[in-house]
Structure 1
Amino acid sequence: MARHHRHDRYVVMVPGDETTAEFDAGAAPALPAGWTRTFLLYSDGWIKDSDLNTAHGTTIDPLPYHAVSSYPYAPGDAYPSDSARQRYLREYNTRIIKPGAREER
């Protein structure tokens, strides 16, 4: 049931947001009597806050990505712009967060 797949399509959140992960636990094999199962969620990502010491802390872009050589980007580096990235932007990364929204929560 383990699924290890890295991609560069992130959940972009602000303080107070939450996310839900759903999966079909019924796909796991049956356990012997008396056993219990623990599910672990392994994730990787970056925290990009609005601290003055954070590179580009007042904007969403540029986002870090797994193959980036350094952050902030080195000359010639750019976030991959393939069809999967474009679909992610159109379908998921659509919310506009106005300056100061963090304080309004």
Structure 2
Amino acid sequence: MDIRQVTDDYAVSGQIAADDIRAIKEAGFRSIICNRPDDEQPGQPSAAEIAVAAEAAELVFRHIPFTSGQMTEEDVAEMAEALDEIPGPVFAYCRSGARSTNIFMAAKQAKG
């Protein structure tokens, strides 16, 4: 897992596994957002599997999936809402981290 800081309160990485949750919590994150649709790639852990591990570690989990290159205004609005509601710092992931970075920037821009 390669954690990349986007801001002081938001970081991204590529796909994680349930075993990564402990390291995410130990790094100080309080919430996790998954921007990857389930079954995008064979063998990837489901969002539900990651959610169970996150909740067991007392981390807030949100699933805001969208296909790479197909981000909608609704996706951006849902991300902006999540960022307002959940405690930071926030860790987000997708296939590579790029999608989670792009939606974060779009959500911040939408808020003005």
- TM-score normalized by structure 1? 0.26
Q: Which has the higher helix share?
A: 2
**Larger Cα Rg: Structure 1 or Structure 2?**
1
Q: Which has the higher strand share?
A: 2
Q: Which has the higher contact order (CA 8 A, sep 6+)?
A: 2
